[in-house]
Homo-oligomer: A and B are copies of this chain.
Amino acid sequence: MPSPIEFYFDFASPYGYLAATQIDALAARHGRTVAWKPVLLGPILKHTGGQPNRAIPLRGPYMEADAPRFAAYLGVPFTAPAQWPIAALAPSRAVWWLADREPGKAHDLAAALYDAHWGRGEDIAAPEAVTRIAAGLGLPEAETAAAIQAPEVKDRLRAETEAAMAKGVFGSPFFRLDGEGFWGADRLDHLAWRLKAGAS
C-alpha cells in the first residue's frame, strides 16, 4: 500500500484552493490517496522572512489577476473574497479536530471550506462561518464551536504547522510524495510526472 500524498495548505491561499480542486483525482489516477493538512502560513513566513503575497509590491496586484486566471485555466469556480488573506485559525482547527476521529469528514469539511471561501467568495474566518459549513456535513454546531476553542485542538494546529516546517514546507500548496517536496499549484504536473515515472 503506497503512502498517501501529503497536501499542505493554508485556507487563506488561493493557490491552495486551486490545488485542492485537483489533487484527489490526480492521486487516484496513480493509485494514491491524499492526506489533507491545513497549516498556518503566518508562523512559517516568520521563519522564512517572507510576507503574504498580497502585501508585496507588484506581486500583490499580479496575484489578484493570476489566481482567477489560473482557475479559468483549470475550469474551476473562483470568486475573490471581500477580505483576504484571512487568518485561518477557525477553519484549520475544525479540520484537525476531525482528522483522527472522522478522517473522511475532515477531508470533506476542508474541501467545503475551501469551496466556500475561494469558489464562492464567502468569509470563513469566523467560527460561526465554520460551524455553519460543518453543520451542512451533519456536524452539530455546538460541538464544532467547542472544538474550535479547545486547547488540545489549538495545540494540534500549532504542532502540525511546526511539523510541516520541520519537513521543509514553506508555502501553500505544498505536496510531499514519499518525502519529496513539490511547491505550488503549478507543480501538479510535475507531481503527476513523478508518479508516472515511479509507477513504470
B170/A58 in contact, CB under 8 A: yes
Q: Which residues of B contact A171 (CB under 8 A)?
A: 59
In the complex, which residues of chain B have a beta carbon less than 8 angstroms from the beta carbon of A70?
A: 190
**Given A49-B57, A56-B48, A57-B47, A62:B168 Cβ within 8 A:** yes
- Complex contact A65–B181 (CB within 8 A): yes
CB pair A49–B48 under 8 Å, yes or no, is no
**A56 cross-chain contacts in B, Cβ below 8 A:** 48-50, 170
A162-194, CB under 8 A of B: which get 1 and which 0?
000100111100000000111110110110010
Q: Complex Cα distance A47/B197, Å? A: 41
Number of interface residues of A (CB under 8 A): 31
Q: Which residue of the partner chain, among B48, B58, B190, contacts A59 with CB atoms under 8 Å?
A: B48
* A120 close to chain B: CB less than 8 A: no
Q: Tell me, rounded to whole Å, the shortest Cβ–Cβ distance linking A121 to chain B.
A: 22
A29, CB-defined interface residue at 8 Å: no
A122 to B84, CA, bound (A): 44
Digitize A35-57: 1 where CB-to-B-CB distance is under 8 Å, 0 elsewhere: 00000000000011111000011
Given contacts A58-B169, A66-B181, 7 further A-B contacts (CB under 8 A): A48-B56, A48-B57, A49-B57, A58-B168, A59-B183, A65-B181, A184-B186
Q: Which residues of A contact B (CB under 8 A)?
A: 47-51, 56-59, 61-62, 65-66, 69-70, 73, 165, 168-171, 180-184, 186-187, 189-190, 193
Q: List 9 A-B contacts (CB under 8 A).
A: A47-B57, A48-B58, A56-B170, A59-B171, A59-B183, A62-B168, A62-B181, A69-B190, A73-B190
